[in-house]
Amino acid sequence: GTMGFEKAWLNYYKSDNLAMRDYFTVVTYNKDDSIVKSAVLELTTAAKELFSIDIESSLCDMKSDVDKTRKGIHFQIGDNKDLENEGYRISLADEMLLIEAYTSNGILYGTFDLIRSTILGADVHSFNRTIFPKNPLRMLNHWDNMDGSIERGYSGNSFFFEHGEVIVNERTKAYARLVSSVGINAVVINNVNVRGTATNLITNRYIDKLKQIGEIFASYGIKLYLSLNFAAPMELGGLTSADPLDEEVRLWWKKEVQLLFKEIPSFGGFLVKADSEGRPGPFTYQRTHAEGANMLAEAVKPYGGLIIWRCFVYNCKQDWRDMKTDRARASFDNFQSLDGDFAENVILQVKNGPMDFQVREPISPLFGGMKKTNLMLEVQIAQEYTGQQRHVCYLIPMFKEILKFRTYCKEENDTVFDIVSGNTYGNKNAGMAAVANTGNDDNWTGHDLAAANLYGYGRLSFDPDLTSEEIAKEWITLTFGMKEHVIDYISKILMMSWPAYEKYTSPLGIGWMVNPSHHYGPNVDGYEYDRWGTYHKADHTAIGVDRTKNGTGYTTQYHQPNQELYGTPETCPEELLLFFHRIPYTYQLKTGKTLIQHIYDSHFEGVEDVEEMVKLWEELKGKLEEVPYHRVLHRLQEQLEHSKEWRDVICSYFYRKTAIGDKKGRELY
């Protein structure tokens, strides 16, 4: 809770990698800033915990004082431009392990790599590599409110805010270590929905505490960002408008942002949710998103600041009779025509799919749809629609599919990864963001296995070439130790978890069959008959919305051949069939099964998968520490119960709608 917290994957067990032991005896470094100090501190901790060694450390220059004939580690920051952008090189120079970098962040990442590799059993001769983070920004977005609650938070309360105040304590530092160890370099600490007290975060009222957080973050190479309220000139400044073209408003912002940048050298800029789900924005003044974003961009530009502007803009009050409005189209319709209008220090942050973090969605067509605009990918590791950290759902395989998706915006280098890393169009303001899944629970993420998503997101945004299995294996070994069966079984559980969740929840890309507002548990028609409607339009013959050119036209937002691929039920990837098409229950799928039979089968299979996950976990009894073993067992048992509820609610809904029974004769209610 509030006081206690665990070390998660930085919980070092004694290592039997004895060949590496001798290197953890001395560390020298040629530059002594706060980040390098952190790297030295990390080596000191690792040496102590892995090998019970008190490492010696000292400042000295490679050229003159470093003794290369003695085993040890040396950090060398130099002018090797090849290592720009947070890269590092680890190699064996005579007897010494050398970590070279151009930036201090490079040294820190090299150090975490060295520690991790040592734990994973690396041989010293394997160190001969040059590594760069592949995304410039590797960001976490916390949706923490100042009263201490977390919007879509499933692991306790905020460790950034409490009772309307900013908090700084040991946990702040532990957090910085944790996320920096996987390469995170930017963090937004407050919710995108900025209301009430949170509007004041940009004023001098909270500056002392923010400065302290800024310093802690900075020493781990992390820039601090805040979410802001577009209507702040009115709410705080007493102006009569927040019109982005109003000179007074522009001046107000310029003055207001000075403080943060001046007081917090590592302040990065702002994240903005505007004209979205009731938040204020430029629409009120008949201005475009570009005009809104550019006004703020101009204000932060003198300090090298960034404006990250979210594209989650849609009509959340769509009338059910209105067959033309399609929420899926909304981001593209709102932003695509503004391509080229945004300032250089604006990045548009686009959710992975056109809806909202469902278990299965197509890729947002804004990726590939904008060529002269900086884009960033937004994913959610808070499992809002994927089991809320009560169900295990390892999301890294999903994120890999997203990154690999070919948009066909160009002949090559056209994947989502290429676009958001800056490869496609050569832009440097780009990267990835994830809605964070942490809170003040002892284990940080509620479900112990949900920490794999936090770890995995960081590692993947740093190096998208890592496989989901590699990441899982790293995380398991670091968290639970290098133990027989532990790695195999937990890997297996993680790797089967996303498919399992998909099977027992909403079928074939349709999404949304959850209870409105809190979004946990099955409710097929919950959003069907809600004011905030998002529709599947199921009747007794068919289900789904035609989003092709004959329907809402959503598919035309993609380049060819994707447009064509999604355009017919025959060519559409089946996992997305009901997202793009309206399909009769008797339609025959590629497996030869009818749609209705597929719904029954997948739901029974999903529950069987969870049964297997429980069994695999039970096999680990005695091999893991008691507390985490029981915590996870408890959640898996609950998941099993809830997956049965999903199965039964979904199956009986479709059974009663269609009056078609299960071919396999299983009991449907």
Please give the residue ranges that form the binding site for ligand GCU (CB under 6 A): 151-152, 192-193, 273, 312, 356, 384
Alpha-helix runs per DSSP H in 85-197: 104-119, 170-180
CB of 578 to ligand GCU, least distance (A): 21
Three-class DSSP category at 223: strand
Give rounded-to-5 percent helix, strand, coil for the chain: 40, 15, 45
Phi, psi of 162 (to 5 degrees): -160, 135
Distance (Å, whole) CA 595 – CA 284: 45
CB of 378 to ligand GCU, least distance (A): 8
CB-based contact 177:230 (threshold 8 Å):
no
**Single-letter code of the amino acid located at 650:** I
**Single-letter code of the amino acid located at 517:** S
**Which residues have a catalytic role annotated?**
277, 356, 384
Closest to 241 (Cα-Cα) out of 250, 251, 231:
231
- Our CB check for ligand GCU shows the closer of 384 and 546 to be 384
To the nearest 10 degrees (0 to 180), the angle between helices 451-462 and 170-180 is 50
- Our CB check for ligand GCU shows the closer of 351 and 598 to be 351
What residues does 99 pair with on adjacent strands?
75, 90
- Our CB check for ligand GCU shows the closer of 198 and 607 to be 198
Cα Dmax for the chain: 84
Distance (Å, whole) CA 74 – CA 107: 10
Phi, psi of 5 (to 5 degrees): -155, 150
- Our CB check for ligand GCU shows the closer of 312 and 394 to be 312
- Our CB check for ligand GCU shows the closer of 142 and 273 to be 273
- Our CB check for ligand GCU shows the closer of 385 and 629 to be 385
CB of 141 to ligand GCU, least distance (A): 9
Distance (Å, whole) CA 127 – CA 117: 9
CB of 273 to ligand GCU, least distance (A): 5
CB of 192 to ligand GCU, least distance (A): 5
CB of 643 to ligand GCU, least distance (A): 22
**Single-letter code of the amino acid located at 653:** Y
CB of 386 to ligand GCU, least distance (A): 13
- Our CB check for ligand GCU shows the closer of 62 and 348 to be 348
CB of 272 to ligand GCU, least distance (A): 11
Phi, psi of 278 (to 5 degrees): 90, -5
Closest to 375 (Cα-Cα) out of 425, 334, 333, 337:
425
Q: DSSP string covering 44-101, please?
A: HHHHHHHH----EEEE--TTTT--TTS-EEEEEE---GGGTTT-EEEEEETTEEEEEE
CB-based contact 328:354 (threshold 8 Å):
yes
- Our CB check for ligand GCU shows the closer of 74 and 152 to be 152
Distance (Å, whole) CA 534 – CA 322: 12
